[in-house]
Structure 1
Amino acid sequence: MPTNRYIARSRGVSRLYAHLVLTTKFRLKVIPPAMLQRLQAIMADLCTKWQCELLECNGEADHLHLVFRYAPQLQLSKFIDNVKSVSSRRVRQEFEVQLREAYWDWEKGFWNESYSIDSCGDAPLAVLRKYVQNQGY
Protein backbone atom coordinates (compact mmCIF):
# COMPACT_ATOMS: atom_id res chain seq x y z
CA MET A 1 0.00 0.00 0.00
CA PRO A 2 1.51 3.35 -0.96
CA THR A 3 2.06 5.49 2.12
CA ASN A 4 0.59 8.63 0.56
CA ARG A 5 -2.89 7.05 0.33
CA TYR A 6 -5.55 7.22 2.98
CA ILE A 7 -6.59 4.16 4.97
CA ALA A 8 -10.30 3.63 4.38
CA ARG A 9 -12.46 2.24 7.17
CA SER A 10 -16.21 1.97 7.56
CA ARG A 11 -16.70 5.49 8.94
CA GLY A 12 -13.86 7.53 7.53
CA VAL A 13 -10.42 7.76 6.04
CA SER A 14 -7.13 8.53 7.75
CA ARG A 15 -3.47 9.09 7.14
CA LEU A 16 -1.82 8.92 10.56
CA TYR A 17 1.89 8.47 11.21
CA ALA A 18 3.85 8.25 14.45
CA HIS A 19 7.49 8.27 15.50
CA LEU A 20 8.21 6.10 18.56
CA VAL A 21 11.52 6.13 20.40
CA LEU A 22 12.37 3.43 22.94
CA THR A 23 15.47 3.60 25.11
CA THR A 24 17.21 0.73 26.85
CA LYS A 25 16.97 0.35 30.60
CA PHE A 26 19.42 2.75 32.31
CA ARG A 27 20.27 3.91 28.76
CA LEU A 28 22.99 1.25 28.61
CA LYS A 29 24.58 0.66 25.21
CA VAL A 30 23.55 -3.00 24.87
CA ILE A 31 22.17 -3.20 21.30
CA PRO A 32 24.83 -4.61 18.96
CA PRO A 33 24.11 -4.81 15.20
CA ALA A 34 22.81 -8.41 15.43
CA MET A 35 20.31 -7.46 18.14
CA LEU A 36 19.25 -4.37 16.19
CA GLN A 37 18.57 -6.53 13.15
CA ARG A 38 16.49 -8.91 15.27
CA LEU A 39 14.59 -6.01 16.85
CA GLN A 40 13.74 -4.71 13.37
CA ALA A 41 12.22 -8.09 12.48
CA ILE A 42 10.31 -8.26 15.77
CA MET A 43 8.92 -4.75 15.27
CA ALA A 44 7.85 -5.53 11.71
CA ASP A 45 6.01 -8.62 12.95
CA LEU A 46 4.30 -6.73 15.78
CA CYS A 47 3.22 -3.89 13.50
CA THR A 48 1.63 -6.40 11.15
CA LYS A 49 -0.22 -8.06 14.04
CA TRP A 50 -1.54 -4.68 15.19
CA GLN A 51 -2.52 -3.71 11.62
CA CYS A 52 0.10 -0.97 11.40
CA GLU A 53 2.50 -0.33 8.57
CA LEU A 54 6.12 -0.11 9.69
CA LEU A 55 7.82 2.49 7.52
CA GLU A 56 11.22 2.73 9.22
CA CYS A 57 12.96 1.01 12.11
CA ASN A 58 16.53 1.72 13.13
CA GLY A 59 18.54 2.64 16.15
CA GLU A 60 21.83 2.77 17.96
CA ALA A 61 23.36 0.98 20.92
CA ASP A 62 20.98 2.52 23.46
CA HIS A 63 17.74 3.31 21.62
CA LEU A 64 15.38 2.33 18.81
CA HIS A 65 13.28 4.48 16.45
CA LEU A 66 10.08 3.31 14.75
CA VAL A 67 8.10 5.28 12.20
CA PHE A 68 4.77 3.66 11.49
CA ARG A 69 1.38 4.30 10.00
CA TYR A 70 -1.77 3.41 11.90
CA ALA A 71 -5.55 3.66 11.84
CA PRO A 72 -7.43 5.85 14.34
CA GLN A 73 -8.93 2.78 16.03
CA LEU A 74 -5.49 1.78 17.33
CA GLN A 75 -4.98 2.54 21.00
CA LEU A 76 -1.41 3.78 20.93
CA SER A 77 -0.76 3.18 24.62
CA LYS A 78 -1.79 -0.49 24.35
CA PHE A 79 0.22 -0.91 21.16
CA ILE A 80 3.33 0.60 22.76
CA ASP A 81 2.95 -1.52 25.92
CA ASN A 82 2.68 -4.64 23.78
CA VAL A 83 5.63 -3.68 21.56
CA LYS A 84 7.80 -3.07 24.61
CA SER A 85 6.83 -6.22 26.50
CA VAL A 86 6.97 -8.64 23.55
CA SER A 87 10.23 -7.27 22.14
CA SER A 88 11.79 -7.21 25.60
CA ARG A 89 10.84 -10.82 26.25
CA ARG A 90 12.11 -12.03 22.89
CA VAL A 91 15.40 -10.11 23.11
CA ARG A 92 16.02 -11.36 26.66
CA GLN A 93 15.42 -14.95 25.51
CA GLU A 94 17.59 -14.71 22.40
CA PHE A 95 20.43 -12.56 23.79
CA GLU A 96 20.50 -13.79 27.38
CA VAL A 97 24.28 -14.11 27.63
CA GLN A 98 24.98 -10.52 26.52
CA LEU A 99 22.23 -9.04 28.68
CA ARG A 100 23.24 -10.95 31.81
CA GLU A 101 26.65 -9.26 31.54
CA ALA A 102 25.11 -5.78 31.26
CA TYR A 103 22.19 -5.93 33.71
CA TRP A 104 22.13 -7.29 37.23
CA ASP A 105 18.31 -7.59 36.98
CA TRP A 106 18.14 -8.62 33.33
CA GLU A 107 14.92 -10.63 33.87
CA LYS A 108 12.97 -7.48 34.79
CA GLY A 109 12.98 -5.88 31.38
CA PHE A 110 15.01 -4.51 28.55
CA TRP A 111 13.39 -1.15 27.79
CA ASN A 112 13.23 1.95 29.95
CA GLU A 113 9.75 2.48 31.45
CA SER A 114 9.31 5.72 29.53
CA TYR A 115 9.13 6.36 25.79
CA SER A 116 8.67 9.18 23.31
CA ILE A 117 5.85 9.22 20.76
CA ASP A 118 5.34 12.01 18.25
CA SER A 119 2.76 12.43 15.55
CA CYS A 120 4.17 13.16 12.14
CA GLY A 121 2.90 13.69 8.65
CA ASP A 122 3.68 14.91 5.20
CA ALA A 123 3.46 18.64 5.96
CA PRO A 124 5.48 20.44 8.63
CA LEU A 125 3.37 21.84 11.47
CA ALA A 126 4.07 25.44 10.45
CA VAL A 127 2.74 24.80 6.93
CA LEU A 128 -0.38 23.08 8.27
CA ARG A 129 -1.07 25.89 10.75
CA LYS A 130 -0.70 28.50 7.99
CA TYR A 131 -3.11 26.55 5.78
CA VAL A 132 -5.73 26.43 8.55
CA GLN A 133 -5.24 30.14 9.37
CA ASN A 134 -5.91 31.02 5.72
CA GLN A 135 -9.27 29.23 5.63
CA GLY A 136 -12.49 31.22 5.63
CA TYR A 137 -14.12 33.97 3.70
Structure 2
Amino acid sequence: MSPRWKPNPDVRTGRHVVHHLHAHLVFVTRYRRKAMTGEMLTRCEEIMREVCEDFEAELKQFNGEEDHVHLLVHYPPKVQLSKLVNSLKGVSARLLRKDYDAHVRQHLWGGHFWSSSYFAGSCGGAPLTVVRQYIDNQQHPV
Protein backbone atom coordinates (compact mmCIF):
# COMPACT_ATOMS: atom_id res chain seq x y z
CA MET A 1 0.00 0.00 0.00
CA SER A 2 1.09 3.47 -0.78
CA PRO A 3 1.79 5.60 2.29
CA ARG A 4 -0.17 8.42 0.57
CA TRP A 5 -3.33 6.32 0.40
CA LYS A 6 -5.63 6.39 3.41
CA PRO A 7 -7.46 3.07 3.51
CA ASN A 8 -11.23 3.17 3.92
CA PRO A 9 -12.17 0.75 6.73
CA ASP A 10 -15.42 -0.13 4.92
CA VAL A 11 -13.58 -1.29 1.80
CA ARG A 12 -12.56 -4.87 2.44
CA THR A 13 -10.01 -6.93 0.61
CA GLY A 14 -9.80 -10.60 -0.09
CA ARG A 15 -7.26 -12.67 -1.92
CA HIS A 16 -8.49 -11.63 -5.38
CA VAL A 17 -11.11 -9.00 -4.64
CA VAL A 18 -11.64 -5.57 -3.18
CA HIS A 19 -15.25 -5.02 -2.20
CA HIS A 20 -17.67 -2.61 -0.59
CA LEU A 21 -21.11 -4.28 -0.67
CA HIS A 22 -24.06 -3.12 1.39
CA ALA A 23 -27.67 -4.28 1.27
CA HIS A 24 -30.76 -2.73 2.81
CA LEU A 25 -33.07 -5.57 3.90
CA VAL A 26 -36.64 -5.33 5.13
CA PHE A 27 -38.49 -8.27 6.71
CA VAL A 28 -42.19 -8.07 7.48
CA THR A 29 -44.02 -10.21 10.02
CA ARG A 30 -46.49 -12.75 8.64
CA TYR A 31 -49.82 -11.13 7.73
CA ARG A 32 -48.20 -7.81 8.74
CA ARG A 33 -49.32 -8.57 12.29
CA LYS A 34 -47.99 -6.25 15.00
CA ALA A 35 -46.13 -9.00 16.83
CA MET A 36 -42.89 -7.27 17.81
CA THR A 37 -42.27 -5.56 21.15
CA GLY A 38 -39.30 -3.37 22.06
CA GLU A 39 -37.71 -6.24 23.94
CA MET A 40 -38.23 -8.57 20.96
CA LEU A 41 -36.63 -6.03 18.61
CA THR A 42 -33.56 -5.86 20.87
CA ARG A 43 -33.31 -9.66 20.93
CA CYS A 44 -33.90 -9.82 17.16
CA GLU A 45 -30.98 -7.45 16.61
CA GLU A 46 -28.69 -9.65 18.77
CA ILE A 47 -29.72 -12.76 16.84
CA MET A 48 -29.22 -11.12 13.46
CA ARG A 49 -25.79 -9.78 14.45
CA GLU A 50 -24.70 -13.33 15.34
CA VAL A 51 -26.04 -14.73 12.06
CA CYS A 52 -24.21 -12.02 10.10
CA GLU A 53 -20.96 -12.85 11.90
CA ASP A 54 -21.38 -16.51 10.88
CA PHE A 55 -21.46 -15.32 7.25
CA GLU A 56 -18.47 -12.98 7.78
CA ALA A 57 -20.87 -10.08 7.26
CA GLU A 58 -21.55 -7.12 9.53
CA LEU A 59 -24.90 -5.76 10.64
CA LYS A 60 -24.19 -2.03 10.37
CA GLN A 61 -27.64 -0.75 11.34
CA PHE A 62 -30.86 -2.27 12.68
CA ASN A 63 -34.24 -0.87 13.60
CA GLY A 64 -37.85 -1.78 13.31
CA GLU A 65 -41.45 -1.38 14.35
CA GLU A 66 -44.18 -3.73 15.54
CA ASP A 67 -44.61 -5.34 12.10
CA HIS A 68 -41.26 -5.08 10.30
CA VAL A 69 -37.48 -4.66 10.66
CA HIS A 70 -34.85 -2.83 8.61
CA LEU A 71 -31.24 -4.02 8.35
CA LEU A 72 -28.16 -2.52 6.72
CA VAL A 73 -25.71 -5.36 6.08
CA HIS A 74 -22.11 -5.12 4.87
CA TYR A 75 -21.33 -8.49 3.28
CA PRO A 76 -18.53 -10.16 1.28
CA PRO A 77 -19.01 -11.16 -2.38
CA LYS A 78 -18.74 -14.87 -1.57
CA VAL A 79 -22.05 -14.66 0.33
CA GLN A 80 -25.23 -15.27 -1.63
CA LEU A 81 -27.61 -12.64 -0.36
CA SER A 82 -30.57 -15.01 -0.61
CA LYS A 83 -28.83 -17.54 1.65
CA LEU A 84 -27.98 -14.83 4.17
CA VAL A 85 -31.61 -13.68 4.15
CA ASN A 86 -32.91 -17.24 4.59
CA SER A 87 -30.61 -17.75 7.55
CA LEU A 88 -31.46 -14.38 9.12
CA LYS A 89 -35.18 -15.03 8.84
CA GLY A 90 -35.04 -18.71 9.81
CA VAL A 91 -32.80 -18.40 12.86
CA SER A 92 -34.51 -15.26 14.16
CA ALA A 93 -37.99 -16.77 13.72
CA ARG A 94 -37.03 -19.96 15.54
CA LEU A 95 -35.36 -18.17 18.47
CA LEU A 96 -37.96 -15.41 18.81
CA ARG A 97 -40.75 -18.02 18.87
CA LYS A 98 -38.81 -19.97 21.50
CA ASP A 99 -38.02 -16.94 23.70
CA TYR A 100 -41.42 -15.21 23.41
CA ASP A 101 -43.74 -18.12 22.71
CA ALA A 102 -46.81 -16.89 24.64
CA HIS A 103 -46.65 -13.41 23.09
CA VAL A 104 -46.03 -14.69 19.55
CA ARG A 105 -48.96 -17.14 19.77
CA GLN A 106 -51.30 -14.23 20.47
CA HIS A 107 -50.33 -12.56 17.17
CA LEU A 108 -49.14 -15.29 14.79
CA TRP A 109 -50.15 -18.86 14.02
CA GLY A 110 -49.21 -21.70 11.70
CA GLY A 111 -45.54 -21.92 12.63
CA HIS A 112 -44.55 -18.82 10.63
CA PHE A 113 -43.05 -15.62 11.94
CA TRP A 114 -41.84 -13.67 8.89
CA SER A 115 -43.64 -13.18 5.60
CA SER A 116 -42.14 -15.35 2.87
CA SER A 117 -41.19 -12.24 0.88
CA TYR A 118 -38.62 -9.56 1.70
CA PHE A 119 -37.09 -6.38 0.29
CA ALA A 120 -33.41 -6.24 -0.68
CA GLY A 121 -31.82 -3.11 -2.11
CA SER A 122 -28.19 -2.46 -2.90
CA CYS A 123 -26.83 0.74 -1.45
CA GLY A 124 -23.67 2.68 -0.87
CA GLY A 125 -21.08 3.93 -3.28
CA ALA A 126 -21.68 6.50 -5.99
CA PRO A 127 -25.14 7.19 -7.43
CA LEU A 128 -26.01 5.35 -10.65
CA THR A 129 -25.74 8.49 -12.77
CA VAL A 130 -22.15 9.05 -11.61
CA VAL A 131 -21.19 5.42 -12.32
CA ARG A 132 -22.77 5.58 -15.80
CA GLN A 133 -20.92 8.81 -16.52
CA TYR A 134 -17.63 7.29 -15.34
CA ILE A 135 -18.10 4.24 -17.61
CA ASP A 136 -19.10 6.43 -20.58
CA ASN A 137 -15.95 8.54 -20.13
CA GLN A 138 -13.53 5.59 -20.35
CA GLN A 139 -11.10 5.90 -23.25
CA HIS A 140 -12.19 3.31 -25.79
CA PRO A 141 -9.21 2.18 -27.93
CA VAL A 142 -9.49 3.06 -31.62
Normalized against structure 2, the TM-score is what? 0.87
Aligned-partner Cα distance in 2 for 1:85–1:104: 16
Q: 1:112 to 1:133 in 2, by over 3 A?
A: same
Q: For each residue in 1:41-81, what CA deviation from the matched residue of structure 2 results, as whole angstroms up to 9, or x when unmatched?
A: 11111111110011101111111111011111001111111
CA RMSD, aligned part only? 1.6
- Write the distance in 2 (CA, Å) between the matches of 1:3 and 1:98: 44
Note closer, same or farther for the CA distance 1:131–1:40 as it changes in structure 2 (3 Å cut): same
Per-residue deviation at 1:99? Answer: 1.0
Higher normalized strand content (fraction of residues): 1
Unaligned runs of 5+ in 2: 1-6
Structure 1: tracts of 5 or more residues without a match: none
Offset of residue 34 of structure 1: 0.8
Contact 2:60 2:72 in 1 (8 A): yes
Q: Is the 8 A contact 1:19 1:66 kept in 2?
A: yes
Q: Which runs of 4+ in 1 moved over 6 A?
A: none
User: Which residue number corresponds to residue 113 of structure 1?
Assistant: 116
Letter of the 1:57 partner, please give it.
F
Does structure 1 retain, via aligned residues, the 8 Å contact 2:26–2:120? yes
Cα-to-partner distance string for 1:70-103 (whole Å, 9 max, x where unaligned): 1110011111111111000000001111111112
Instruction: Determine helix, strand or coil for the equivalent of 2:70.
Output: strand
TM-score, length of structure 1 as denominator length: 0.90
